[in-house]
Amino acid sequence: MSLQHIKSLVEQGQCERARAQVEAMLRDHVSAEALMIAASLCDDGELAIRYARRALAHDPKHTEAYDFLRQRLGENSLANSAG
């Protein structure tokens, strides 16, 4: 199982399979990219935000995570939640 395989599943519309595989992957190996895939597949908005925050904690320069949070929380909320 690889991130590329999971991205391929998403592209094929197999989101449930992709979600299950990325969650399994996160149990063994956490990466900002995997966390962002999980966030994008998440139906629960609060959980998606937690995944994105974990991605930023793992890689503070991860622009996709920053953009994801900015879209959902707004610029001011993101700045206030950083500390």
Tens-place pLDDT, residues 57-74: 999 999 999 999 999 988
Q: Average pLDDT in the 5-29 region?
A: 94
The CA distance from 68 to 38, in Å, is 12
pLDDT at 76: 59
- Identify the CA nearest to 66 among candidates 78, 51, 76: 78
Domains in the chain, CATH or no CATH each: 3-81 (1.25.40)
Residues 27-61: tens digit of each pLDDT = 999 999 999 999 999 999 999 999 999 999 999 99
pTM, entire model: 0.84
